[in-house]
Chains A and B, each alone.
Chain A
């Protein structure tokens, strides 16, 4: 099971080589970078949630910090990462099962447009609703 596929970069550093990249490789790189970012966030998030064990005296003052505009911007970045990774992941899964392979380029572009619109809407809600 160690035979690399012909289109797969053999080394991680090749992700950073932008020469001659086609849309498929950008989709691949985007998926992996967003996935790594979300994984990092997951473990930070789990660590932060340990403050809940300290009760309201520990958790509620922390909310004042995370409601600061610069912190809400991190929420927007998280939402963008989730939308990009999730929607691109749906395309990858469909294509992996042989669905929509011929239309994958169009599917990728449409899903990223959906991510952009949903991200902007989500950003507006995050900033409008947080008080």
Chain B
């Protein structure tokens, strides 16, 4: 690795694992598109700046949009929690503690995605 900008963030993380790093990179690339779409759709093209309830419903009920929003949630949650995991692993935990951390973060991630999917379902099926 070059010495000018030999950032530890510029290489697969030794403690957090190379596979985790690759997943974080893959979800990160996905987020460049999905987070961009999310920000533009919710902040930059809406008259008045933010969507009111009726506009949220109209947007989320689009059959092209809600799967993208779910995919966005999966990617952003995985990316965020893999990042948190890498930071926690930098604390120098034992292997047992690292396994626990991974299990807890899996739980948090699954709950977040399940909650987001439920919220989407509530909105898609909200009485007109």
Contacts and interface: CB of A to CB of B under 8 A. Distances in A.
Q: How large is the interface on A (under 10, 10 to 19, 20 to 34, 35 or more residues)?
A: 35 or more
B119 A49 contact: yes
Taking chain A's interface residues, is the majority helix, strand, or loop, or is none over half, making it mixed?
Answer: helix
Interface in A72-120: 72, 75, 79, 82, 86, 88-93, 95-97, 101-102, 104-105, 108
A71 B43 CA distance: 13
Contact of B11 (A3, A5, A125): A5
Contacts of A91: 10
B28 A89 contact: yes
A4 B14 contact: yes
A50 B115 CA distance: 9
A86 B39 CA distance: 13
Interface of A: 1-5, 7-12, 22-25, 27-28, 31-32, 35-36, 38-39, 42-43, 46, 49-50, 52-53, 55-56, 59-60, 63, 66-67, 72, 75, 79, 82, 86, 88-93, 95-97, 101-102, 104-105, 108, 122, 125-126, 129-131
Interface of B: 1-2, 4-15, 17, 21, 25, 28-29, 31-32, 35, 39, 43-44, 46, 48-50, 52-54, 56, 76-77, 80-81, 83-84, 87, 90-92, 95, 98, 112, 115-116, 119, 122-123, 126
